[in-house]
Copies of this chain bind each other. A is one copy, B any other.
Amino acid sequence: MAPAKVPPTTVQRLPLYLRCLVQASTHHMPVVNSVQIAEMAGTNAAQVRKDLSYLGEFGTRGIGYDVDSLIAHLSRHLGLTEHRRVAIVGYGRLGSALQGYQGFAERGMRVVAVLDADPAKIGIAVDALTVEDIESLEAVVARERVEIAVITVPAAAAQSVADRLVAAGIRAIMNFAPVALRVPEGVEVRQADVAGELQILSFHLHPERTRV
């Protein structure tokens, strides 16, 4: 019953389930069963039930899961009862695309700071924010109570930015720079590498599906 140990693979699927349930909610479905969730999520029903069982017992046998109540449970387990405070470090093409992404708010994320090292970019007003100097990173993190940092700086600068973020108390980093970050125990890093993903796709296209 208590959230003892949730397997990493299960955690990775929770946002997907949440998305599907929100969609079901907008379609005015009051209740869904594990087969329906699995169809929407592209998995199988046993997986869905097992995953949810790690968080608690939320279903009703013979009926299924109450959509709104399950949304509430998942949101709580994902720590999304309040919006998470996100800083974007690096206001290049990708950084500005993320800053302007409308999908964050409805999924529990709030961008509270944008930073860059380029004097030409510092001071630019974006929505209600201003691009701030990366030199004042520590002050900004403290002032805005940043919980999650998104790194969109060039690869060469990523590790030093990560070091400073960690020193400033950040424990959750999403890194778009194509380098493996070194962080101390207790700091969680998610790596996003678009070119790498395309290379994985390329592997599956490989002509060499016969023999060498």
Q: Write the residues of chain A forming the contact surface with B, with a CB cutoff of 8 angstroms.
A: 1-4, 6, 11-12, 14-16, 18-20, 40-42, 76-80, 84, 86, 93-94, 96-98, 100-101, 103-104, 107-109, 147-148, 150, 171-174, 178-180, 182, 188, 190, 192-208, 211-212
Contact = CB atoms under 8 A, between A and B. Distances in A.
A211 B56 CA distance: 12
Contact of A15 (B40, B182, B200, B208): B200
Contact of A96 (B6, B93, B174, B205): B93
Contacts of A103: 178, 195
A203 B104 contact: no
Contacts of A173: 201
A173 B188 CA distance: 28
Given A15-B193, A192-B192, A203-B14, A198 B84 contact: yes
Contacts of A109: 195, 198-199
A19 B177 CA distance: 12
A192 B194 CA distance: 9
A16 B196 contact: yes
Nearest to A109: B198
Nearest to A41: B180
B100 A207 contact: no
Contact of A79 (B100, B182, B203, B212): B203
Contacts of A2: 211-212
Given A86-B198, A180-B41, A199-B107, A172 B204 contact: yes
